């Protein structure tokens, strides 16, 4: 369905209507942090749910009498549902309001968590996880858009930094929380704990989240279907390549995904507020920020996925030791991201992001020199450098990406921010699988595969740095 052009006066009128609740420039301080509390709870739930499901897969496979390969769909079904529906939920937020999409997504996520906890078979659990992913997409697609209306314009970095802080804390503590729950109760409780937390966040969010502008365009149902087909086929192809499935089938799926993506792009170019934010990609700062995010998250995921194989399969360390060795990166981000967010409100965020990426690239190169038998300190300082650079890049980059879009297109920007992260993570996982597939499964092969993955990670971080420096030049005042 082709969208009608929207008069340029529509957006300011919508924004003016919304300011009766949100205020001229964000919420008052007390209301601001109450609103961020409910967002923090929901974001933490969505991040933790991915981390704890990964840890619980062996237990779930054993208790549901299924194979490890089949149990992977407990994770994949959630990721697939989130990925294919993010941009659709973001577009819906532009139309009916970010608060409504966020609250509905959280309600669906909470109810589906209860269904996961009550599941007695793998098909039941996978179906519940699909619904949970759709709810998670509602939360993740608009949470940063809401931040834009919670914080004043000159404090947007604080809000973005707070979000990055919550994500980092959840990622760092997820495995420990999952291990603690599994040591005292069945895997069902991994999902059941979401229910009371979700109810609290729903009650709180209904009272404290601000009203936001609404666009007058109609929802692009055909665009949503094309987006789901393109991203869904791409993710399925990546998963099949990682599991060593038919190269021909995966290639056909990638080709079909490309066709759907081209059709989607061409349709979006003729629309005033498309589901795929082509209008925002015409803004150099936005498009460069998306590219930087994809490259940086690709590099991060290459490290997160590859190094545990080096520590456990080659270095013969325990899972607990591996967890401790991987902790410095997210632990440093916990402290750096909020600071970088605040600093980006006072200093040039493009320069801050570039500096962070330079540090991250240096850290990635240092990981290439990591001996197999390195002690904790030898691993920790390298991971800490990467974490410092990543944390210093993430908040300023997200601030730039979000602020580069007009207020009435905050949903599109927020959805693209989350989509860029997921694309980077998916690409990183696929590249690790490819590296291992080419290097072999013997101990020496795994070591070569990890080394190859780290080389690609360093290249990806370097590419992010180069793109970031181009962005600095683009934003330099012209004489």
The pLDDT tens digits for 335-366 are 898 888 888 888 888 999 999 999 999 999 99
Write down the pLDDT at residue 244. Answer: 65
Write down the pLDDT at residue 127. Answer: 95
Write down the pLDDT at residue 65. Answer: 85
In the chain, pLDDT over 90 holds for what percent of residues? 27
Average pLDDT over residues 85-105: 90
**Average of per-residue pLDDT values in the chain:** 83
Q: How far is CA 289 from the centre of its chain?
A: 14
Average pLDDT over residues 314-335: 81
The pLDDT tens digits for 53-64 are 766 777 888 888
Write down the pLDDT at residue 68. Answer: 67
pLDDT(269) > 70: yes
For residue 26, which phi and psi values (nearest 5 degrees)?
85, 180
Average pLDDT over residues 413-442: 80
Write down the pLDDT at residue 3. Answer: 42
Write down the pLDDT at residue 6. Answer: 37
pLDDT(426) > 90: no
465 burial (CB, 10 Å; 0-12 / 13-18 / 19+) is: buried
pTM greater than 0.85 (yes/no) = no
Average pLDDT over residues 98-109: 93
pLDDT(470) > 70: yes
Confidence of residue 173 (pLDDT cuts 50, 70, 90): confident
pLDDT(20) > 60: no
Average pLDDT over residues 244-273: 85
Average pLDDT over residues 473-479: 71
Write down the pLDDT at residue 433. Answer: 76
Write down the pLDDT at residue 242. Answer: 64
Between CA 404 and CA 342 the distance in angstroms is 18
For residue 232, which phi and psi values (nearest 5 degrees)?
-65, -45
pLDDT(13) > 70: no
Instruction: For residue 278, give every residue at least 6 positions away whose Cβ sits within 8 Å of its Cβ, in sequence order, or none.
Output: 265, 268, 269, 271
Instruction: Assign 3-class secondary structure to the chain.
Output: CCCCCCCCCHHHHHHHHHHHHHCECECCHHHHHHHHHHHHHHHHHHHHHHHHHHHHHHHHHHHCCCCHHHHCHHHHHHHHHHHHHHHHHHHHHHHHCHHHHHHHHHHHHHHHHHHHHCCCCHHHHHHHHHHHHHHHHHHHHHHHHHHHHHCCHHHHHHHHHHHHHHHHHHHHHHHHHHHHHHHHCCCHHHHHCHHHHHHHHHHHHHHHCCCCCCCCCCCCHHHHHHHHHHHHHHHHHHHHHHCCCCHHHHHHHHHHHHHHHHHHHHHHHCCCCCCCCHHHHCCHHHHHHHHHHHHHHHHHHHHHHHHHHHHHHHCCCCHHHHHHHHCHHHHHHHHHHHHHHHHHCCCCHHHHHHHHHHHHHHHHHHHCCCCCCCCHHHHHHHHHHHHHHHHHHHHHHHHHHHHCCCHHHHHHHHHHHHHHHHHHHHHHHHHHHHHHHHHCCCHHHHHHHHHHHHHHHHHHHHHHHHHHHHHHHHHCCCC
Between CA 127 and CA 73 the distance in angstroms is 10
Average pLDDT over residues 94-115: 93
Q: Residue length, the chain?
A: 479
Between CA 355 and CA 362 the distance in angstroms is 11
The pLDDT tens digits for 365-388 are 999 998 877 888 898 999 999 999
pLDDT(71) > 80: no
Confidence of residue 12 (pLDDT cuts 50, 70, 90): very low
The pLDDT tens digits for 429-452 are 778 877 877 776 666 777 888 889
């Amino acid at each position: 369905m082709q969208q009608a052009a929207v008069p340029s006066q529509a957006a300011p009128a919508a924004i003016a209507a919304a300011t009766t609740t949100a205020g001229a420039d964000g919420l008052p301080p007390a209301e601001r942090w109450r609103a961020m509390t409910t967002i923090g709870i929901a974001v933490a739930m969505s991040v933790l749910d991915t981390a704890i499901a990964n840890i619980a897969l062996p237990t779930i496979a054993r208790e549901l009498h299924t194979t490890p390969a089949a149990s992977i769909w407990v994770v994949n079904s959630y990721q697939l549902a989130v990925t294919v529906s993010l941009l659709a939920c973001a577009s819906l937020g532009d139309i009916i309001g970010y608060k409504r999409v966020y609250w509905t997504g959280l309600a669906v996520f909470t109810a589906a968590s209860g269904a996961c906890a009550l599941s007695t078979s793998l098909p039941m659990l996978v179906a519940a996880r699909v619904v949970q992913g759709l709810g998670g997409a509602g939360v993740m697609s608009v949470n940063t858009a809401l931040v834009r209306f919670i914080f004043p314009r000159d404090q947007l970095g604080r809000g973005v930094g707070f979000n990055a802080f919550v994500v980092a804390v959840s990622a760092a503590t997820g495995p420990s929380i999952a291990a603690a729950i599994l040591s005292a109760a069945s895997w069902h409780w991994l999902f059941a704990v979401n229910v009371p937390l979700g109810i609290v966040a729903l009650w709180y969010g209904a009272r404290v989240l601000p009203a936001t502008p609404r666009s007058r365009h109609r929802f692009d149902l055909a665009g949503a279907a094309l987006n789901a087909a393109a991203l869904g086929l791409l993710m399925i192809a990546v998963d099949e390549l990682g599991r060593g499935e038919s190269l021909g089938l995966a290639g056909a799926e990638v080709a079909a995904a490309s066709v759907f993506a081209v059709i989607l792009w061409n349709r979006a170019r003729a629309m005033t507020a498309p589901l795929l934010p082509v209008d925002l990609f015409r803004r150099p700062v936005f498009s460069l920020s998306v590219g930087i995010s994809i490259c940086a998250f690709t590099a991060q995921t290459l490290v997160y996925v590859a190094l545990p194989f080096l520590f456990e399969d080659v270095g013969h360390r325990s899972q607990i030791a591996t967890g401790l060795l991987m902790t410095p990166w997210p632990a440093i981000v916990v402290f750096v991201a909020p600071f970088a967010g605040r600093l980006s409100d006072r200093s040039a965020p493009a320069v801050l992001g570039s500096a962070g990426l330079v540090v991250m690239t240096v850290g990635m190169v240092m990981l290439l020199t990591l001996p197999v038998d390195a002690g904790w300190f030898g691993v920790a300082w390298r991971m800490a450098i990467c974490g410092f650079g990543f944390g210093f890049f993430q908040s300023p980059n997200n601030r730039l990406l979000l602020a580069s879009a007009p207020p009435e297109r905050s949903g599109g920007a927020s959805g693209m921010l989350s989509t860029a992260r997921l694309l980077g993570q998916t690409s990183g996982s696929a590249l690790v699988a490819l590296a291992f597939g080419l290097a072999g499964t013997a101990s020496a092969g795994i070591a070569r595969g990890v080394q190859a993955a780290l080389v690609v990670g360093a290249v990806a971080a370097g590419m992010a740095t180069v793109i970031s420096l181009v962005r600095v030049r683009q934003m330099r005042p012209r004489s």
